[in-house]
Amino acid sequence: MKHATDHLPHDAHAWWFGFDCNHLYDVVPGRASHQKRFLAAETGAVYRDDAYVICEIMNLARQLRAIADGEAPSPREGKPLPAIGLDPRGKG
């Protein structure tokens, strides 16, 4: 199995863009802490399915295209991003 780091570009100015779904507010199947739903109520942790990932990739691609074209990025599509902090309602 190949890993992304097996394909490092030889250009010292190359950038990698991306995201992951392995945070406190993400349910990761098989992770021991989520079997007990650690802080699930406080974080609003949910499983990020393939549709979520594809939507976020498309949002990232639109943002990068806007930057390349010197334009302001369009508003992101899809569900709202997880809240910053422990209370997903922004109250703490």
Asked if residue 63 is part of any domain, the answer here is yes
Q: Among 76, 68, 89, 87, which Cα is nearest to 19's?
A: 76
pTM of the model: 0.66
Asked if residue 54 is part of any domain, the answer here is yes
pLDDT at 92: 47
pLDDT at 5: 67
* Number of structural domains in the chain: 1
Give the range of the structural domain holding residue 53, as residue numbers without chain letter. 40-76
pLDDT tens string 7-32: 667 777 777 788 888 877 788 877 66
3-state percent helix, strand, coil for the chain, nearest multiple of 5: 35, 0, 65
Asked if residue 18 is part of any domain, the answer here is no
DSSP designation for 84: S
Asked if residue 44 is part of any domain, the answer here is yes
Asked if residue 5 is part of any domain, the answer here is no
